[in-house]
Structure 1
Amino acid sequence: MKQDYIKILFEQYLEGKTNQEEEKILLDYLADPANGDSEFHAVMDKAWKKQNHQADYTPEANQGLNQIWNKIEERKPKSRSLYPILKYAAAIVVVISAAFGWYAYKKAQEPIQAAIAFLSKTTQKGEKVKLILPDSSIVYLGAGSKLTWPSHFVKGKLRNIRLEGEAFFEVKHDTSSPFIVHSGQMQTRVLGTSFNIYAYPKDGTFSVAVRTGKVKVSENREGKLKQLSLLTPGMKLLYHLKAHDYTVRNERITEVNAWIKNSFAFKDVALPNMFKSLERYYNVHFELKTNKFDHCRFNATFTNKSIGNIMEEIRVMSGKKMKYKIDTANKTITVWGEGCQ
């Protein structure tokens, strides 16, 4: 009868229903060398399962419970000197009981986290927009680009956004919340600075150029992050998608975000790639009738010029060997000729 009473008392203790006097009876019983502890496993297990609405059932928690059972089994009495062992078992009971209460308290205190919505903006060819992010950072989004960002940033957490295309960033300084731009396999991390990212997947080369501050550029391949370079003002990193390699060169500060003011700078750029950029900037389509221009590379800057004026300048740079025709109605430019001089 006493043992049945103790089992009931034990279960009530785990449920937090015992008073001080009952707890003393229970712990005195557990500390008595004449009593074992294994018979209470079923009661312990039952009490644990009753907490399924508030207990932590992660693998770590289950592993911890199993370790407790194992320790009790390992210390099963082999002699009459049982007092310290049973004292240990009683302590385990107190710990587990306290844990049940802690799980309930922890769950009750957890705030309900609303799912963070993500916003995105996609620009068309010939379009560029200015965006203000939730942290007051400013983004100038280039033509034919897409930016994705969370509806709000959490203080002390990473400010992660995603870019496909080109954008110039003026990042609000916050040392506790690094600002990270993900663009394909390239990752750019800053605290507060201004920089330009060019990341059109079809172009084969991504770039990061810094106007102010410092940025860290890394490569993310199959979930493994590898730092490529730290860039300071006037430095530009070019990352080649197929080869997975990169180069770093100097860039004029004034050219980093020149496209915002309709000034387009090309430095040692192949003519077909130049045409790809001009397609986006001017919302036109190029039709190349020959591949003789594939290896033609140019250095050029065009500021506030019409596409007609730009094409004429390129024709002159080619030694007048390139020929073109502009179809204004269809926004198409046909190019042919003998290649470069």
Structure 2
Amino acid sequence: MKENIKILFEYYLAGKTTPEQEKMLMEYLADPENADSEFYGIMESAWTAKTTETDYSLTAVNGLTEIWEKVEKRRSKSRLFSPLLKYAAAVIVIISASLGWYLYRNVQQATQTSITFLSKTTQKGERLKLILPDSSVVYLGAESRLTWPSRFVKGNLRNIQLEGEAFFEVKHDTTSPFIVQSGEMQTRVLGTSFNIYAYPEDETFSVAVRTGKVGVSENSTGKLRQLSLLTPGMKLSYHLKAHHYDIRNERISEINAWIKNRFAFKDVSLANMFQSLERYYNVRFELKTNKLNDCRYNATFTSKSISDIMEEIRIMSGKKMRYKIDNANKIITVWGEGCQ
């Protein structure tokens, strides 16, 4: 009998008992006359080998309650706190721990498979405001593409990808760093607001910080190399071909000016200015001369039409630049003798 109970108990721990075998085991547990049985050596080992952290999950609690109820049916309330019950608890702790890990593993696998990637692409002249799963806000610029997971997992990296321009207002989370991958440039934050300019066809990417701290790294050879840690008012420009970068100060009010229809240009060539204006206003420039290539400007345009902007540029050039706007085809033809 004792030998059979030992085998039955081992089967119970392995989850191989039938309802009839389980009933037999519970009746043995409920009988105080078996307190000196050799069977308790097995139970003592099970008790001492259990994890130091008790499982308080719903599965464990319900399982332990079920065992107690079975025991209570076969003994009086005055004997409920027999040493046998600590071993009954050990049984459910072991089983529920195994079951808990099984359920956890399945949930984790389901979590991994349920995460999908979303993306949004804007056209020329289009801007969007997006809310990410962690409540971070992204203002996506014209002719840009953002890719992000359908949800972020607490404690893991919040990885997203950007091609183009975007201003980020990242929700603070010290356990889940927020990382933006833009070609060879990686931007890492915990919670801050910053602007990224990263059009693949351009020669220069940039990161400018409005609030908080931002770490910028280069990943051109498969190895991450930290470039700099930026604070508010700092702008890092990364030159793709030379793998070189420089840092300068930027007016904080201009870092996200474009989301408020204010476009600021600082010491930029006319060609680069036209490239940005093409994206913002959904037009196409045609330069008929090379004499304008060396012209550089500092300018800020606030809520102006493209025709007003062109007229201001003409005046800044000393009226040496000329232009013609074809509204029907959204083409602006530019020529002239140079700039002032």
Q: Distance in 2 between matches of 1:131 and 1:188?
A: 19
Q: Does 1:156 align with 2:155?
A: yes
Provide, for residues 217-276 of structure 1, a one-character-per-residue CA deviation record: whole Å limited to 9, x for no partner.
000112210001111000000011111101100000100000011000000111101001
- Structure-2 change in CA distance of 1:105 and 1:210 (3 Å): closer
1:242 aligns with 2:231: no
Which AA in structure 1 matches 2:200? Answer: P
Match of 1:279 in 2: 278
The C-alpha deviation readout for 1:71-92, integer Å capped at 9, x for no partner, is xxxxxxxxxxxxxxxxxxxxxx
Distance 1:321 1:150, change over 3 A: same
**Offset of residue 115 of structure 1:** 3.8
- Alignment-mate amino acid for residue 332 of structure 1: I
Q: Residues 37-186 of structure 1: matches in 2 within 5 Å? A: 110=105, 111=107, 112-113=110-111, 114-186=113-185
Match of 1:295 in 2: 294
| Residues in 1 aligned to 2:292 and 2:242: alpha-carbon distance in whole angstroms | 23
Shift of 1:106: 6.2
| Deviation (angstroms), 1:198 | 0.5
Distance 2:114 2:269 in 1: 45
Deviations 1:69-128 (A, max 9, x none): xxxxxxxxxxxxxxxxxxxxxxxxxxxxxxxxx999966752334241011111111110
Partner in structure 2 of residue 212 of structure 1? 211
> Match of 1:311?
310
Identity value in percent? 77
User: Aligned equivalents of 2:99 and 2:172: distance in 1?
Assistant: 39
In structure 2, stretches of 5+ residues that fail to align are: 1-13, 17-37, 40-96
Deviations 1:111-147 (A, max 9, x none): 3342410111111111101000000000000111110
Q: Distance in 1 between matches of 2:170 and 2:204?
A: 24
Is residue 2:198 matched to residue 1:199? yes
In the alignment, which residue of structure 2 is the partner of 1:256?
255
Name segments (4+ residues, structure 1) moved above 3 Å.
102-109
Q: Which structure 1 residue ranges, 5 or more long, are not aligned?
A: 1-15, 22-101
Which residue number in structure 2 is paired with residue 56 of structure 1? Answer: none
> In the aligned structure 2, how far is the partner of 1:105 from the partner of 1:125?
52
Structure 1 pair 105/138, CA: closer, same or farther in 2 (3 Å)? closer
The offset of 1:192, in angstroms, is 0.4
1:11 is matched with which residue?
A: none
Q: CA deviation at 1:340?
A: 1.7
AA aligned opposite 1:301: T
| Structure-1 residue corresponding to 2:222 | 223
TM-score scaled by length of structure 1? 0.69
Size of the alignment, in residue pairs?
250
Deviations along 1:168-214, one digit per CA (max 9) or x if unpaired, are: 00000000000000111110000000000001111211110000001
Distance in structure 2 (CA, Å) of the matches to 1:335 and 1:256: 29
